[in-house]
Amino acid sequence: MSRRPSPPPELPGFTYVEPLGTGGFADVFLYEQQMPRRRVAVKVLLADRLASSAAQEFADEANVMAMLSTHPAIVTIYQAGVAGDGRPYLVMEYCPRPNLQVRARKEPFSVAEALRVGVQVAGAVETAHRAGVLHRDIKPANILVTEYNRPALTDFGIASTAGATGEASGMSIPWSPPESFADPPQSGPRTDVWALGATLYTLLAGRSPFERQGERNSGADLIERIERAALLPLGRPDSPDSLQRVLERSMAKNPDDRFPSAVAFARALQKVQIELSHSVTPIDIVDDHPPAEDLDDDNDGLTRVREIVSIDPDVAAFTRPSAATQPKGPSFASPEVPRFDSPDPVDEATQLRAPTAAPVPDDDDRTVARGPVVVSPQAGGTVAPTASGPSSADTAHAHPSTTSETESAEPPSQPARSRKGLWIGLVAAGVVVVAGAIVGLNLLVASMPAPDPVATEDEVDPQDVVSDVVPKVSDLAGTRSGDSVTFTWTNTDPLEGDSFIWMPIDLSGAGTPSTTAETTATVTGAAAGQVCIDVSLRRDDGRASEPVRGCVG
């Protein structure tokens, strides 16, 4: 075995600083790059692995990480090459903070931070899956932390294509699913889903999921429990049952019982954040075409995939034009667009109408209560007799076109002139009767007493029509005095009942969220170096803005 760490190579344009760590077949060193000037981590393959498959795996890792490293939760690759002594190397983003394994062993994460990290890393894994890459070694030690306290997934050394099976070399037993120990071993996207759940469990519990305190925890013991034992509850009073259910589903023994994808796992964590009234962490996914299984994510309405709908910028937002104001034209007559604001179906048998009332047009969606007035189809006024439409009298008497038959049936002794006058009188009388009935009906309705309002104990608060978006705080800045850092900010749109949620973030990681009604917060006992806080504006109804981060060096 070679001495560890191995000697750092001489790299043109880089100055060696110190060793950072060792891995299965590579060492990692801190260098300072001359142009542009920055600190970088350089991963160097061991000399005794050059003749093995590790050299190809090292090259594959460089290619995979270069393809994915623009993701905010994946370590950035700057360049790769071969040193003068023949050893391949990768120049990567330097993440100075302890990796998540070191932090979790020291102290379990808060539920809020664990959920945030889980969503962010799941987005990185989903992006890799959509690029056809399985990580296959997700664990807390492979999640570094950037200077801005963001998780960064690394070590794609044993990554493979999404369809690969039968490969399990280099796996980490405590975070591997049962199918990894099968003969032959199996792997797929749901293998990484298990590892995501196991990693999140570790952050919350301070130990891997199947470690048992006070018992043997050898590799064989862990494999036995992974394959057969149930997942123990976290046993944390601040962890809801819903989070335990998410972890149990992600680590189901049968892969088919797990979340179908990393993004489905992330969305389940978002629902827990909503339940706990935390700010919802966005999922960063580099893909314009979501996989088919994402179309049905528990069918709860929170994560639906929708088609893009083009909206006319001249039309008022969030409203549908009414029948009275809707422009006429083909652009508003598409039959494919469903209407969800149409009035309830009307029972025709219960409607009180005048004898000559015309039907209300189908596109009239107004729901204002009306009296039994006669409405014109064109303008909503009183119906006037027209040359083409039958009158009320026509419904009770023969149409004038049939009078020739009637006249021929009369006795010849009756003068035709008298019969004609009789018909005119009957028609006039009918019109008068119908008009009188309409007027009387209107007077009857108008004279009916209006119903008295019924008093109730329910209080109705009038609601202004405002946007649901809560504005972010602004002008977040801080000043340091010894080990105390005081931050101040501005509420750009203050409302009654406003408060603020702030969370300190320093070298030891994110602290516990606190609530204040003031626009200032003080971090005491701050360690040397950069100290940051996240601040969100919280409305009286529970809605919160996106967090804003401020830092003091």
pLDDT for res 532: 86
166 confidence band (pLDDT: 50, 70, 90): very low
Average pLDDT, the chain: 74
pLDDT for res 151: 96
pLDDT for res 437: 63
Q: Which domain holds residue 489?
A: 474-552
Cα dihedral sign, 82-83-84-85: negative
Tell me the pLDDT tens digit for each residue of 99-141.
Answer: 999 999 999 999 999 999 999 999 999 999 998 888 888 999 9
> Averaged over 205-209, what is the pLDDT?
94
Tell me the pLDDT tens digit for each residue of 61-94.
Answer: 778 888 888 899 999 989 988 898 889 999 999 9
d(CA 187, CA 405) in angstroms, rounded, equals: 93
Assess whether 130 and 199 both reside in one domain. Answer: yes
pLDDT for res 490: 94
pLDDT for res 388: 42
Assess whether 119 and 212 both reside in one domain. Answer: yes
Assess whether 82 and 218 both reside in one domain. Answer: no
Tell whether the model's pLDDT for residue 410 goes beyond 80.
no
- CB-based contacts of 327, cutoff 8 Å, min separation 6: 321
Assess whether 183 and 288 both reside in one domain. Answer: yes
Higher pLDDT residue, 385 or 278?
278
Assess whether 38 and 51 both reside in one domain. Answer: yes
Beta carbons of 253 and 178 less than 8 angstroms apart: yes
Q: Could you tell me the CATH number of the domain that includes residue 88? A: 3.30.200.20
Task: List, in sequence order, every residue forming a beta bridge with 42; answer none if it has no partner.
Answer: 29, 91
Tell whether the model's pLDDT for residue 480 goes beyond 70.
yes
d(CA 491, CA 540) in angstroms, rounded, equals: 14
Q: Could you tell me the CATH number of the domain that includes residue 527? A: 2.60.40.10
Tell me the pLDDT tens digit for each residue of 299-320.
Answer: 444 443 333 333 333 433 333 3
pLDDT for res 541: 79
**CA-wise closest residue to 95 among 42, 145, 32:** 145
Tell whether the model's pLDDT for residue 8 goes beyond 90.
yes
pLDDT for res 69: 81
273 confidence band (pLDDT: 50, 70, 90): very high
Which 3 state secondary structure label does DSSP give 58? helix
> Averaged over 146-172, what is the pLDDT?
67
171 part of a folded domain: yes
Tell me the pLDDT tens digit for each residue of 494-520.
Answer: 998 899 988 887 555 556 788 899 999
339 part of a folded domain: no
238 part of a folded domain: yes
Assess whether 49 and 141 both reside in one domain. Answer: no
**CA-wise closest residue to 204 among 118, 95, 99:** 118
Q: What is the total count of domains within the chain?
A: 3
Chosen domain end from 63, 94, 125: 94
Token pair listed for 155: 């070590």
Assess whether 85 and 192 both reside in one domain. Answer: no
d(CA 472, CA 82) in angstroms, rounded, equals: 47
Assess whether 68 and 103 both reside in one domain. Answer: no
